[in-house]
């Protein structure tokens, strides 16, 4: 199975430009609310019409503005899981599944029973959607989609309407469904964790502009752009400029840092909160701090001051800034509670410490 998308569509505040190709895989579009990711799904499904471009599924042209092709949704062989699930309210769950099931009467019944079993809906088969919880409705909607033998699954924020506990249970079930499904799935989400756990590849969308698709490991390790860095969860981003082949200035943090390679046109630098490393309390010299953290490079062992400590459920979020620069922007440092208790007990009265900024973890961005 192969899906090719190359479309543009004028929206209220920007122009959506989506261009990508996906194979038999789980592909994700990651973006904030209102960025155009759900509209991309609607254009693929035939529920909205692009202004120009082409959409092709498994060799069949679904939309082509130049040729005047625009197949209706029922001819596209696509299963769409809406945020609201869109079950027919006047039909039972069994009837909902039967309505879309394909094949002979015997094959349809087999698909109905298989869907009910797979999603643990046997006892709810004769219930109506209004009698089901949000999680039960989602399972019913998935059973209905799979009964239609769709070539492609489109999942629009599949867990956004569920509470945290139910989200995790449904995510586990979704993993099983996607692994057993022989087609491809495209889902949109604003949740970086969902994207990392579920997707093989992903692309970031920011105000309608789709960035180059990458594997999830590539995207999270080296986002490449400001939008991708923020959307993948990085809390520490500073404007930056290149000083020489091996050093940059993090302008907002007021730090000079060593990097592994230069980047012409550098604009930003980012560092994830859990990559900062403690070297020593601030009442020792930098040389002594380096001896306490032998893998650290002197250029990136910085004298910092704690400005705020926030207790989270399983960790502490410690805000730190350059010790002698009160106007510098603070960075977020996240670490386990036991680690922070041990470190905090050793800090001097001025709450200073030496922290290491690993060069290999600094994310450089041109835009």
Cα–Cα distance, 154 to 5 (Å, whole number): 14
Express each pLDDT in 215-270 by its tens digit. Answer: 999 999 999 899 999 999 999 999 999 999 999 999 999 999 999 988 989 999 99
Tens-place pLDDT, residues 116-158: 998 889 999 999 999 998 778 888 988 898 888 888 999 998 8
In which residue are the tokens 């604009």 written?
A: 267
Q: Categorize the per-residue pLDDT at 295 as very low, low, confident or very high, splitting at 50, 70 and 90.
A: confident
Measured CA to CA, the distance from residue 18 to residue 9 in angstroms comes to 9
Q: What is the per-residue pLDDT for 141? A: 87
Name the residue with higher pLDDT: 1 or 347: 347
The CA-atom distances, in angstroms, between 366 and each of 222, 263, 264 are 12, 8, 8
DSSP secondary structure letters along 241-263? EE-SSSEEEETTTTEEEE-SS--
Count CB neighbours of 282 within 10 A. 20
The pLDDT of residue 138: 80
| Helices and strands in the chain, H and E counts | 10, 22
């Amino acid at each position: 199975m192969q899906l090719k998308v190359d479309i543009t569509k004028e929206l209220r505040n920007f122009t959506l430009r989506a261009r990508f190709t996906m194979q038999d895989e789980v592909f994700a579009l990651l973006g904030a609310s209102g960025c155009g990711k759900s509209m991309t799904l609607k254009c693929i499904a035939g529920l909205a019409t692009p202004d120009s471009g082409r959409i092709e599924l498994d060799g069949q042209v679904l939309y082509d503005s130049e040729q005047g092709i625009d197949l209706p949704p029922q001819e596209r062989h696509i299963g769409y899981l809406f945020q609201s699930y869109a079950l027919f309210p006047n039909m039972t769950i069994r009837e909902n599944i039967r309505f879309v099931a394909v094949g002979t009467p015997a094959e349809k019944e087999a698909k109905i029973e298989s869907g009910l079993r797979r999603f643990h809906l046997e006892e709810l088969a004769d219930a109506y959607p209004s009698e089901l919880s949000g999680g039960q409705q989602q399972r019913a909607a998935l059973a209905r989609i799979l009964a239609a033998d769709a070539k492609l699954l489109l999942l629009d924020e599949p867990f956004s309407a569920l509470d945290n506990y139910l989200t995790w249970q449904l995510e586990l079930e979704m993993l099983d469904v996607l692994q057993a499904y022989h087609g491809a799935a495209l889902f949109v989400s604003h949740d970086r964790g969902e994207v990392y756990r579920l997707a093989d590849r992903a692309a970031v969308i920011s105000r309608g502009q789709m960035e180059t698709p990458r594997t999830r490991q590539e995207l999270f390790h080296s986002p490449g752009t400001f939008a991708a860095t923020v959307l993948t969860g990085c809390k520490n981003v500073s404007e930056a400029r290149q000083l020489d082949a091996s050093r940059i200035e993090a302008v907002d943090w007021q730090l000079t840092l060593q990097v592994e390679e230069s980047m012409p046109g550098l604009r930003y630098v980012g560092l994830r909160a859990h990559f900062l490393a403690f070297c020593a309390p601030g009442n020792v010299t930098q040389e002594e701090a380096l001896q306490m953290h032998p893998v650290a490079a002197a250029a990136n062992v910085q004298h910092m001051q704690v400005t705020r400590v926030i207790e989270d459920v399983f960790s502490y979020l410690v805000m730190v800034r350059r010790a002698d620069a009160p106007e510098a922007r603070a960075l977020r440092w996240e670490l386990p509670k036991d680690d922070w208790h041990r470190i905090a007990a050793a800090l001097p009265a001025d709450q200073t410490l030496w922290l290491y900024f690993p060069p290999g973890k600094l994310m450089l961005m041109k835009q």
